[in-house]
A and B are shown apart, each in its own frame.
Chain A
């Protein structure tokens, strides 16, 4: 049983990791055909993995309703929102779910007038909190913090039309900050990130990294 739970998955990760790696260097048409097919498989499996995320969310709220924890009424609202939307989606304006998705209809109405405004507003609330933080917490206590604030102010003013109205040097300086010191730093960070990705990928392929398998 341990073979199926541990050795087999690690062997699969190794074999297909090797295939994925070698495919970049073997232009032979048979190998390419296998590679193309495997790429499709991975792409399709992503969708199944995304369902797991949605399932977790719904299960969490279902448990809250079951146990009648504090605020379970909101979980009922979540489930109603989900059920109605999904049912309307599957109804598909009368064509049901074994055909292409309708381009108009009730599902699109729900998207345009409930989902879209809620999603857009949710993150715009952050604008107010940033303003509050700018007043209450952004302090130039050290030279490094001071440099950060000066750079932030130059970029903030330089990126808007008022920067050009005050002086043409401000947008020039803002652009230089982005193109030179910022690009240099991001480059250094990306080099480190890439090395980390390569190292982690090798660890996954060789079975050293097993966290993705979950517990025993």
Chain B
């Protein structure tokens, strides 16, 4: 093949590539193929931790620290965690560090609770949003009621059975931060190592690689990484949802991208070989 042809292939208008991705993602959605999902040990660690909390009829603090930009990845894992908690009778206190996330936290908490007839105030509560990041975590650790005197609807938390006995983060059995940026770090740095509560996190795929050093040291118990992690958690609780449905198009697009990389490199190296042959021919 001539080098000009290879150059045309290499410099294909990117809009054709966009179209291929779109067709691949939409097409895969309608393909009937059974995909078995095998949960990884980091996801199982979070599942086991909640099972342990359920045995002791404890309380989970779920901090939904994400905004609409990360919702596609993180809401499925929040929902799966909440379904697990409510199905086992674990009490849930929801909150968020992200001002754009309060409504998202409210929606997912209320809709998950409705599936299990969980009652607001007795089985779950939503504290809402407060600013502060690390200082909020410390405030909650030092004096929980000073940080959150009322819930997001302005009800005194002392009147909520699920939260009235909580005076500090040490009273929480398991804290989970579902986060799209550095909020999980704030929980770990200013919370876990000071107040010694069990801590797990669900993060976007971009952040997940950063969490692994802390899993090894035991600072983080349980990690759900990205939509694939959410699909694994849905498998563990036996309730496939949006994440599981999303695995088909996700898999298809991943394969397409790998093919793009391999094909692009193949054409590149072919062009390089032709170029060297040309240069050798000119030298003669």
Contacts and interface: CB of A to CB of B under 8 A. Distances in A.
Do A and B contact each other directly (Cβ–Cβ < 8 Å)?
A: yes
A178 B209 contact: yes
Given A123-B69, A135-B260, A165 B38 contact: no
Sort chain B's interface into a size bin: 35 or more
Interface stretch (B9-17, B51-59, B157-165): B9-17
A42 B260 contact: no
Interface stretch (B81-89, B170-178, B248-256): B248-256
A186 B18 contact: no
A129 B12 CA distance: 14
Nearest to A107: B103
Contacts of A171: 38, 40
A190 interface: yes
Interface in A154-186: 156-157, 159-162, 164-165, 171, 175, 178-179, 182-183, 186
Contacts of A175: 40-41
Interface in A1-60: 32, 35-36, 39-40, 42-44, 46-47, 50
Interface of B is mostly: helix
Contact of A153 (B67, B106, B253, B261): B261
Interface of A is mostly: helix
Contacts of A153: 258, 261
Interface residues of A, number: 58
Nearest to A41: B135
Given A119-B100, A183-B216, 18 more contacts: A39-B135, A42-B135, A43-B135, A43-B147, A103-B153, A118-B68, A122-B69, A124-B72, A131-B21, A134-B261, A138-B265, A139-B268, A161-B38, A162-B254, A171-B40, A178-B209, A179-B215, A190-B210
Interface of A: 32, 35-36, 39-40, 42-44, 46-47, 50, 99-101, 103, 108, 111-112, 115-120, 122-124, 127-128, 130-132, 134-136, 138-140, 149, 152-153, 156-157, 159-162, 164-165, 171, 175, 178-179, 182-183, 186-187, 190
Interface of B: 10-12, 14, 17-18, 20-22, 35-38, 40-41, 67-72, 99-100, 103-104, 106-107, 130-133, 135-136, 138-139, 142-143, 146-147, 150, 152-155, 208-210, 212-213, 215-216, 225-226, 228, 231, 247, 250-251, 253-258, 260-261, 263-265, 268
